[in-house]
Amino acid sequence: EDKLLRTQHDLEDARRAHYFPAASGFSLRFSYNDTYVGFKELLLEHLSGVLRISVAAGTSAHGHAQVPSLRVTWEGGAGCGGSGSGGALRFLGEGVSVVNRRDLFGISLAPNISFTRIDLSARFKAVLPLVYLPKRRSWKLESGFKIELLQFKREASSAAGAESEYAPEKLLRLLMQAVIEGMTRHLLMGQLGPHLGAYLKAARHGAEVVVDVSVRGIPVRTFDANLSGGGEAAADAARLLGISR
């Protein structure tokens, strides 16, 4: 099973590298189910919400061995409009390409659908069941992983490319889900190293942890702000550049 899983992971990595080679300028690669997304640049304005992490230890209360596992749930927080509104994400992508290995709307997609720029935001909920693999000393996403987009919006900013206005919403939703999956994987899998898994393997008690997440980047509105103009966008851009006005 470990060898099969390793082969599947290696195959996914090879697909992402093949679809979006670094030699062509791609710096970020995500995938969700059969949708693959590559970015030459990604400007994250914000990612916020609450991560609820339920931990099952590797030894039950009766002393029986079991697989250490985590169930991670993205929820809304105080900064997201309430607990029922989900996490919040907005980003601006530049040089974005999408590959879908399945048919969409009954037709086969071209190998590469590209956007010069795309500006998207969403509120979402996500569930990530993870199990620890002692032989590989790593965490694996289990079946049952899902992302639900509660709200989805193409932002009408001046930075967004005109071609994104005509893209099918279903395709853009798949793109958004791939970004959420990739960012969550990076946020969690990079932090849940083998030391936590080794500890949980010997632990006898589970736990539940709630973590507030608030990642703030450069506001999208500053991307094409007119420094000689007025308004908040120009003021933000000047401040980022260290220009006094």
Mean pLDDT of 150-173: 72
Mean pLDDT of 42-52: 90
- 8 Å CB contact between 232 and 221: yes
pLDDT at 202: 80
Q: CB burial class (10 A; 0-12, 13-18, 19+) of residue 94?
A: middle
The pTM for the full model equals 0.75
What length does the chain have?
245
Q: CA–CA separation, 12 vs 2, rounded Å?
A: 15
pLDDT in tens, 66-100: 888 889 898 875 444 444 578 999 999 999 998 87
pLDDT in tens, 184-215: 877 776 677 777 888 888 888 888 989 888 88
CA angle at 25 for the pair 6 and 218, rounded to the nearest 5°: 95
Query: In which band, very low, low, confident or very high, does the pLDDT at 144 lie, cut at 50, 70 and 90?
Result: confident
Mean pLDDT of 43-67: 86
Average pLDDT, the chain: 79
Structure tokens at 166: 């005509």
